[in-house]
Structure 1
Amino acid sequence: MTTSASPAKAVVKAVVFAYHSVGVRCIKTLLARGVDVRLVVSHTDNPAETIWFESVADLCREQGIPCITPDDPKSVQLKEQVAAIAPDFIFSFYYRHMLPLDVLALARRGAYNLHGSLLPKYRGRVPVNWAVLHGETETGATLHEMALKPDAGDILAQVSAPILPDDTAYEVFGKLTVAAEQCLWAALPDLIAGTARRLPNDLSAGSYFGGRKPEDGRINWQQTAQQVYNLHRAVAPPYPGAYTDQAGQRFIIGKARLSKSDVANLPIGLHVVDNNVLGVCGDGRALHIIELLMDGKIVGTQELATLLKQAA
Structure 2
Amino acid sequence: MRIVFFGFQRWGTETLGALLANGHDVPLVVTHPPSRNPADNLWAASVADLAAAAGIPLVECRHANSPALAEQLAALEPELLVLSNWRTWLSPKVCALARHGGINLHDALLPRYGGFAPINWAVANGETQTGVTVHRVDDELDLGDILLQEVVPILPQDTATDVFQRTLPLFSSLALAAVDALARGSAQFTPQDRSQATFFHKRGEREMRIDWSLPARDIHNLIRAQSPPYPGAFSHFHGQRIELLEAAPAPRDYRGTPGRLLGTPDGVVALCGPPGPQGLLIETVAPEQSEPMPASQFFAGCSGYFD
TM-score between both structures, scaled by the size of structure 2: 0.90
Is residue 2:68 matched to residue 1:77? Answer: yes
Going from structure 1 to structure 2, the CA distance change for 1:19 and 1:280 (only over 3 Å counts) comes to same
Deviation at 1:52, TM superposition (A): 3.8
SS at match of 1:87: coil
Contact 2:261/2:304, CA 8 A, preserved across alignment: no
Deviation at 1:136, TM superposition (A): 1.0
**Paired position in structure 2 for 1:304:** 299
**Paired position in structure 2 for 1:40:** 29
For the residues of structure 2 that align with 1:100 and 1:310, how far apart are their CA atoms? 51
**26-35 or 111-120, which deviates more:** 26-35
Deviation at 1:105, TM superposition (A): 1.5
**265-274 or 201-210, which deviates more:** 265-274
Specify which of 274, 287, 290 is matched with residue 283 of structure 2: 290
Aligned-partner residue type, residue 14 of structure 2: R
Contact 1:38/1:65, CA 8 A, preserved across alignment: yes
For the residues of structure 2 that align with 1:211 and 1:93, how far apart are their CA atoms? 17
SS at match of 2:187: coil
Summarize the alignment of residues 90-239 of structure 1 with structure 2, pairs less than 5 Å apart.
90-239=81-230
Going from structure 1 to structure 2, the CA distance change for 1:302 and 1:108 (only over 3 Å counts) comes to closer
Deviation at 1:303, TM superposition (A): 4.2
Contact 1:160/1:179, CA 8 A, preserved across alignment: no
Deviation at 1:223, TM superposition (A): 0.7
**Paired position in structure 2 for 1:8:** none
Contact 1:139/1:163, CA 8 A, preserved across alignment: yes
Deviation at 1:267, TM superposition (A): 4.6
Contact 1:251/1:292, CA 8 A, preserved across alignment: yes
**228-237 or 78-87, which deviates more:** 78-87
Contact 1:91/1:112, CA 8 A, preserved across alignment: yes
Going from structure 1 to structure 2, the CA distance change for 1:68 and 1:310 (only over 3 Å counts) comes to same
Specify which of 23, 40, 45 is matched with residue 12 of structure 2: 23
Deviation at 1:104, TM superposition (A): 1.4
Aligned-partner residue type, residue 46 of structure 2: S
Contact 2:236/2:306, CA 8 A, preserved across alignment: no
Deviation at 1:168, TM superposition (A): 0.8
Going from structure 1 to structure 2, the CA distance change for 1:73 and 1:269 (only over 3 Å counts) comes to farther
Going from structure 1 to structure 2, the CA distance change for 1:153 and 1:222 (only over 3 Å counts) comes to same
Contact 1:159/1:180, CA 8 A, preserved across alignment: no
Aligned-partner residue type, residue 221 of structure 1: W
Deviation at 1:89, TM superposition (A): 0.6
How many residue pairs get aligned? The number is: 301
For the residues of structure 2 that align with 1:310 and 1:230, how far apart are their CA atoms? 21
Percent identity of equivalent pairs? 36
SS at match of 1:256: strand
For the residues of structure 2 that align with 1:290 and 1:101, how far apart are their CA atoms? 49
Deviation at 1:80, TM superposition (A): 2.4
Deviation at 1:176, TM superposition (A): 1.1
For the residues of structure 2 that align with 1:268 and 1:309, how far apart are their CA atoms? 8
**Alpha-carbon displacement from aligned partner over 1:88-112 (angstroms, at most 9, x marks no partner):** 1111101111112221121122211
TM-score between both structures, scaled by the size of structure 1: 0.88
Going from structure 1 to structure 2, the CA distance change for 1:308 and 1:182 (only over 3 Å counts) comes to same
For the residues of structure 1 that align with 2:59 and 2:266, how far apart are their CA atoms? 53
**Paired position in structure 1 for 2:255:** 264
**Alpha-carbon displacement from aligned partner over 1:203-262 (angstroms, at most 9, x marks no partner):** 112312222113310101111111001111111221111111221111111122222143
Deviation at 1:69, TM superposition (A): 1.6
Contact 1:155/1:199, CA 8 A, preserved across alignment: yes
**267-276 or 244-253, which deviates more:** 267-276
Aligned-partner residue type, residue 260 of structure 1: P
For the residues of structure 1 that align with 2:296 and 2:93, how far apart are their CA atoms? 58
For the residues of structure 1 that align with 2:305 and 2:139, how far apart are their CA atoms? 57
Contact 1:214/1:240, CA 8 A, preserved across alignment: no
Please list every run of 5 or more consecutive structure 1 residues that lacks an aligned counterpart in the other structure.
1-11
**Paired position in structure 2 for 1:9:** none
Deviation at 1:197, TM superposition (A): 1.0
Contact 1:20/1:94, CA 8 A, preserved across alignment: yes
For the residues of structure 2 that align with 1:86 and 1:275, how far apart are their CA atoms? 65
For the residues of structure 1 that align with 2:178 and 2:61, how far apart are their CA atoms? 29
Larger radius of gyration: 1
